[in-house]
Amino acid sequence: MLAKYVSKYKIKIANRYEILADGDRQIINPKDEDFIAAGYKPLIETNPPLFNPLTQVLSPYYELHSDIITKEWCVVDVDLVDEEPTQEDRLEAQVMYTALMTDTLLDLEVDADV
């Protein structure tokens, strides 16, 4: 798989179904050579480390090397919250949900009128 390095947490995967823009050229049905010429490199995924899924999650990040991009993994500890939400928390969540749904329905009505 070919990819272009954007940042430590973002890459762009080569998509053969999109038009490849390389400088002042546009390439339809690009081949691997076209992607490599445009700065794409092979993406190598490393095996994720062992972790405790009850208290940890895996977070991917990418490292740029001279001729490849590697997908690495970082184990992140998760803070577990044992507290039950209060009635005030539940009420606030319901109010937010109702407001969101109302806005969505109003947007649909405006779109239907246009």
| Predicted pLDDT at 101 | 84
| Predicted pLDDT at 5 | 94
Q: What is the DSSP letter of 39?
A: T
| Predicted pLDDT at 9 | 92
Tens-of-pLDDT digits for all 114 residues of the chain?
999 999 999 999 999 888 888 778 888 889 999 999 889 999 999 999 999 988 899 999 999 999 999 999 999 998 776 678 889 989 999 998 888 888 777 776 655 555
pTM > 0.75: yes or no: no
Torsion of CA 3, 6, 8, 13, to 10 degrees: -30
| Predicted pLDDT at 112 | 54
* Cα(63)–Cα(70) distance, integer angstroms: 5
Residue type, 25: R
* Cα(49)–Cα(68) distance, integer angstroms: 21
Residue 75 Cα to chain centre, angstroms:
18
